[in-house]
Structure 1
Amino acid sequence: MTRPPRPIAPALAARLTGSSTGFLGTLFDLARRGTLRIEEGPRKWTGRTFEIVRLDGAHLESARSEHAQDLSSHEQVFFQALFHKAKADRTNLSEIGSLSYNSCFSAVLDEELVAAGWKDPERQKRRTRFLAWTGLGLLLGLLVLVVGITLAVAPQPFNTWIMTTALVLIGGGAAVSGVCLVGLLIAALISTQSDEGVRQATAWNSFAGYLRNITRGREPGISPDLFERYLPYAAAFGLATEWAKYFQKQAEVPVPEWFQGLQSSLDDGSFVAIMAAISSADSSASSAGGASGGGASGGGASGAG
């Protein structure tokens, strides 16, 4: 598939396919629509610096503002999370990484998928219950296992009854833990998408594959104007850096109007640098999200839910 299956927000397409970088697609989509600008700052000893600038009219102090009405729910959450300081019109590019483990952003995307009929709330409830029960079973199994091991190694005169009990607890705890662990893995693979959602996800996965093939040089006759046109989707599918590097090698690819670099062309690598910076921020944020127990949920097989 060489075109987007339908005109939907990049973040929704990413959520459908299980990609966790939908927020990057939102960034570039809003920039293309004239809501944001990305500026390159003076170089520091640590490397290039970039800022995301909120343009006039993009303030969301009131949810009833004219501009807010032009934004989808997840785009409003995106703005509020990125510019969390009151009346702040500028923020470092590294702040974009915080969206990778923003639970509100993920939740609003899921709500939009439900509203579109692509996510089944009943399937979500069943999977949640299954996860809860198997998780509880795993904890109980581990507790029984620990009790059994404690009885077995405790310093005491040999007692057949105690040793038998310990072995039974160890065996039972290990068995229950193993079964519940498998149950958790199965639950994680249960799709929460509706039948139509599965069809949409298949179509968008096909389009993502097309974009991936472009970055690998496997698609001939690629027009330079595809760079900016499909950049939001490429970024949403985790291909931002590869996308910029590919088009940097092509002729007559202009710098987008919403990007202000220190140079006037892609040849100096400035735009590739911003992609690399975003990828680095995303990687750091994902690590932080995992350490804090957050993280944007997703996975193609699980319906990104």
Structure 2
Amino acid sequence: MNPVEALFRVIFIGAMLLLFTGGGVGLLVLWYMRGRDPRVGIVAEFLPNPPDDLPPGAAGTLLDEHADHHDVVATLLGLARHGAVDIVQIVPDARGQKRPHRHPPDDYELTLRDPTRCESALEAELLRIIFGPRPVSDQSVRLSEIRPAFAAAESDVRELLYDELVERGYFVRSPEITRLRWRRVAWVGLVLSILTGVVLAFVLDPYALLPTVAAAVMWGAMIPLSRALPRKTPAGAEAAAKWRAFRRYLAEIERYENVAQSRELFERYLSYAVAFALAREWVGIFAAAGAAQPPWYRQLDGGDVLIPGDVGGLGDIGDVIAMGRAFELAGHLGRDTPDLPGIGVPDVGSFDPQAVTDTLGGSLQGVSDGFGGLLDAAGSVFDAIDFDVS
């Protein structure tokens, strides 16, 4: 080995060590300067109410800086709570099936009640995806049927979630754009480092591949680091701190509230619990406490028949009646008659509204499995948004 070769090898080894140490420090400095959120003042340990009017889906995106299916499912449940959509669980009838021991999967029917009850651009867009470009009242669609439409529009939904945060001044630009920019820088640096190292190895010495490896590792490390580089504005950091305090309240609701005496909180904050990935715990806690199922959610057993219209002048509770429960309902409405009210029976007798509510509405505990199935089914329909390359 001549002195020139020895010198080159010392230089290349030194360059490798320098790149490993300096590159690692550089990545930390990059995150500290460009990705770390601004410091905020003291925020309460927990907040019992949402800190602002940010839609649930956007609140979930603010906290983890990624749009995912939890945020879309939360938006759907927000539409239901606002009175725009009703949801009916359809339990398939296993009778007559070749393999009755194999229970077919449940489906869920979404019915549009009032397309004007949207509180954000994201909600309006989700209605158009589900029910078509011009949604009208009383349209119905099965949840299992909307996957193709959502897959075609998922980039628009993701953009709307990020736009909501940018418009409120919580980010200077979309977190998705920031991640993509840094990821592109990392890929360009990785490719150039490899090409340069290969050329130097052929022209000078194979030891030139040592700093090439170090540079490739550093550029490669920047690719996952890019996910942490979106930086909130001071207003965004403060809002996120408050939303985390509200999330803590939901996550530890049994610590802060007597759940048995606060069962109305279930529906009020359900969409936020979904957005914060707390849905299973939230449903389980309130089901055990005997909370009522949401008024916009019903379960229809296999073999039951829909009875349209306003049954017996009861308004909404007459819209959907399981035929297998019809005589039970009639017993609560008119004790002396087996007939359904409003169907050839002029006198409904003694009316027991609580019994009617129990028969038609039911408790959350009775449908908690089906409600959990709704969250799973909706998540699987909207999971195309999770495959975000940024």
Normalised by the shorter chain, which TM-score bucket?
0.7 to 0.9
Structure 1 residues 245 and 182: CA distance shift in structure 2, 3 A: same
Could you tell which deviates more after superposition, 234-243 or 184-193? Answer: 184-193
Aligned counterpart, 2:51? 5
TM-score w.r.t. the length of structure 1 is 0.73
Alpha-carbon offset, residue 280 of structure 1: 5.0
Alpha-carbon offset, residue 203 of structure 1: 0.7
Which amino acid letter does the alignment assign opposite residue 373 of structure 2?
A
Which amino acid letter does the alignment assign opposite residue 54 of structure 2?
I
Aligned pairs, number: 267
- The structure whose Rg is larger is 2
Over the matched positions of the two proteins, sequence identity in percent amounts to 25
Once residues 220 and 277 of structure 1 are traced to their aligned partners in structure 2, the CA distance between those partners, rounded to angstroms, is: 26
3-state secondary structure, aligned to 1:102: helix
Question: Is the Cα contact below 8 Å between 1:106 and 1:296 reproduced in 2?
Answer: no
Once residues 123 and 36 of structure 1 are traced to their aligned partners in structure 2, the CA distance between those partners, rounded to angstroms, is: 30
Question: Is the Cα contact below 8 Å between 1:118 and 1:197 reproduced in 2?
Answer: yes
Aligned counterpart, 1:104? 156
| Equivalent of residue 24 in structure 1, options 73, 90, 96 | 73
Question: Is the Cα contact below 8 Å between 1:245 and 1:272 reproduced in 2?
Answer: no
| Equivalent of residue 35 in structure 1, options 81, 84, 87 | 84
| Equivalent of residue 181 in structure 2, options 104, 129, 141 | 129
1:1-305 correspondence to structure 2 within 5 Å: 1-18=47-64, 20=68, 21-43=70-92, 45-55=103-113, 57-58=114-115, 67=116, 70-84=118-132, 89-94=139-144, 102-121=154-173, 128-141=180-193, 165-168=205-208, 170-214=209-253, 217-222=254-259, 223-251=262-290, 253-262=291-300, 264-266=361-363, 269-279=366-376, 281-282=378-379, 286=383, 294-295=387-388
Structure 1 residues 41 and 276: CA distance shift in structure 2, 3 A: closer
Which amino acid letter does the alignment assign opposite residue 51 of structure 2?
P
Once residues 73 and 191 of structure 2 are traced to their aligned partners in structure 1, the CA distance between those partners, rounded to angstroms, is: 37
Cα deviation code 1:133-180 (max 9, x no counterpart): 1122123445667x68xxxxxxxxxxxx85974442x32432221111
Alpha-carbon offset, residue 284 of structure 1: 7.1
Once residues 96 and 242 of structure 1 are traced to their aligned partners in structure 2, the CA distance between those partners, rounded to angstroms, is: 27
Structure 1 residues 142 and 275: CA distance shift in structure 2, 3 A: farther
TM-score w.r.t. the length of structure 2 is 0.59
Alpha-carbon offset, residue 191 of structure 1: 3.1
Could you tell which deviates more after superposition, 192-201 or 121-130? Answer: 121-130
Once residues 247 and 146 of structure 2 are traced to their aligned partners in structure 1, the CA distance between those partners, rounded to angstroms, is: 22
3-state secondary structure, aligned to 2:53: coil
Question: Is the Cα contact below 8 Å between 1:94 and 1:277 reproduced in 2?
Answer: no
Question: Is the Cα contact below 8 Å between 2:186 and 2:223 reproduced in 1?
Answer: yes
Could you tell which deviates more after superposition, 266-275 or 24-33? Answer: 266-275
Once residues 28 and 97 of structure 1 are traced to their aligned partners in structure 2, the CA distance between those partners, rounded to angstroms, is: 17
Once residues 296 and 256 of structure 1 are traced to their aligned partners in structure 2, the CA distance between those partners, rounded to angstroms, is: 36
RMSD across aligned positions (CA): 3.4
Relative contact order (alpha carbons < 8 A, sep ≥ 6): 1 or 2 greater?
1
Structure 1 residues 50 and 133: CA distance shift in structure 2, 3 A: same
Question: Is the Cα contact below 8 Å between 2:89 and 2:370 reproduced in 1?
Answer: no
Structure 1: tracts of 5 or more residues without a match? 59-66, 149-160, 298-305
Once residues 243 and 96 of structure 1 are traced to their aligned partners in structure 2, the CA distance between those partners, rounded to angstroms, is: 26
Structure 1 residues 285 and 30: CA distance shift in structure 2, 3 A: closer
Once residues 27 and 122 of structure 1 are traced to their aligned partners in structure 2, the CA distance between those partners, rounded to angstroms, is: 23
Structure 1 residues 90 and 241: CA distance shift in structure 2, 3 A: farther
Once residues 389 and 299 of structure 2 are traced to their aligned partners in structure 1, the CA distance between those partners, rounded to angstroms, is: 31
Once residues 389 and 123 of structure 2 are traced to their aligned partners in structure 1, the CA distance between those partners, rounded to angstroms, is: 16
3-state secondary structure, aligned to 2:83: coil
Once residues 258 and 278 of structure 1 are traced to their aligned partners in structure 2, the CA distance between those partners, rounded to angstroms, is: 15
Cα deviation code 1:55-110 (max 9, x no counterpart): 2x42xxxxxxxx38x54221122122233487693333346778699221121122
Question: Is the Cα contact below 8 Å between 1:96 and 1:278 reproduced in 2?
Answer: no
Alpha-carbon offset, residue 210 of structure 1: 1.3
Which amino acid letter does the alignment assign opposite residue 136 of structure 1?
V
Once residues 120 and 192 of structure 1 are traced to their aligned partners in structure 2, the CA distance between those partners, rounded to angstroms, is: 8
Which amino acid letter does the alignment assign opposite residue 255 of structure 1?
Q
Question: Is the Cα contact below 8 Å between 1:51 and 1:91 reproduced in 2?
Answer: yes
Structure 1 residues 276 and 185: CA distance shift in structure 2, 3 A: same
Alpha-carbon offset, residue 275 of structure 1: 2.4
